[in-house]
Amino acid sequence: QQESLAEGFTLLLEENVEDEFRSVDALDSIAQYEDAWAQKLIALANGCRGRGKIVDAYLELLSSSLAGVPDIPKTARRLTINTQYGDIVIGDTTNNKYDGELFAVIDPGGDDTYNLKYAGIGHQTYIIDLVGKDTYNLPQNRISPYFFGSNMIVDMAGDDTYNAGSWTLGAGLFGVGILWDRAGNDRYFGDTFTQGAGCFGVGILRDDGGNDFYQAALYAQGFSFVDGIGILTDSSGNDCYYAGGKYKDILRYKDHYLSLSQGFSYGIRPKMSGGLGLLVDQSGNDIYVADIFGQGASYWYGLGVLADGGGNDQYLAFQYAQGAGTHMTLGILYDISGDDNYTSKGVSQGCGHDRAAGLLIDLNGNDNYVAYDLSQGAGSANGLGFIADIRGNDTYIVRSDKNTQGFGQVRRDYGSVGIFIDRGGKDGYSGGVGRDSTWWSDSKWGVGIDQ
């Protein structure tokens, strides 16, 4: 049963760059095969309930074990113990290299390199590194070795580099994955389902400080799949988040890529709901770059949230982004302060589509919003779109004046609601129906207010 679940959920999550060259018939055959797997997985996954207590106990144990940093003498010598679960290693303060199947490592110092390799599933890895500019090379198996397992990396200090394929860097697949970096200017590289991702489990990436760089292709940076919780939280620093650039969105565009990241939740329509995907950046002048689906968005019965605490931030995406919900779900982008720039093409910036809700809320700062259509408080197909900017001298630019800035259409015998609110400041508008210090209602179920 475990092997079937591992194979099935890997199949549902993995993408192939070769798909853009396949025929329509071939793609349809693949879709039918995946749909059959999804139906089979529903019954199998129902037998895997009750993991909540295990997750809670794991997090409590982790918190208590890291309450104080142990004092390890500089003269400590490296010690290795072989076990059936992998090697247990206590390192020294030199530049160490750790290879193979590791179960537990405590390293007191040095610029270290970790090369982790495993076969099969159900593995456990626990690493605590106290100081040094370290490099972590994580497994790049097609099926995660941590399916039905757990992995935890805690790096106390240093400018570190994390290299991974898929399924690691704070990823929980029917288990728990935690990566906690407490200091340093760090770099994180991954492919799919990484950097705070959860499916029938919990995945957390926590970074406590530094100017950090996060790069992934798909399902990453605060991503949740079925019955999962995925969280990426960064406390401070001028950080850069990039998701996309590898797997083309071949159903819609020839020149855009899927992201489904940066506070995103994803379910399999109509069979399985999503979970909770959360990206929280507390401070700093940050840059967020995604393409199709991302930045506080969700698809099919989930919750995706991107929350930024402060700083002059840049949000760049193309579609289904920046507070967007599609198909009975909720997406939220929440920015507390700073002079921010939001740029997207459409179904973005507070847009809800098909009985879903999308919210974009900015509390303070002189902000700029740029979109093409179906954005800035737009409700589509019985959805709710909501955008609110509370303070600051803001600029709103759109290409279409038909379905933006407080737009709600009649659809399927009842309404779609679009709400646009700007509470203060001297604001500028271009291309749409909005105006400073007035209100408008150019669609049956839409309204805009600028105070």
- How high is the pLDDT of residue 50? 44
Handedness of CA 115, 277, 221, 59 (dihedral sign): negative
- How high is the pLDDT of residue 410? 87
Mean pLDDT by 10 residues, the chain (451 residues): 91 91 90 88 71 54 54 72 94 97 97 97 96 98 95 98 98 96 98 98 97 99 98 98 97 95 97 97 99 99 98 99 98 99 99 98 99 98 98 98 95 92 98 97 96 95
- How high is the pLDDT of residue 66? 52
Mean pLDDT (the chain, rounded): 94
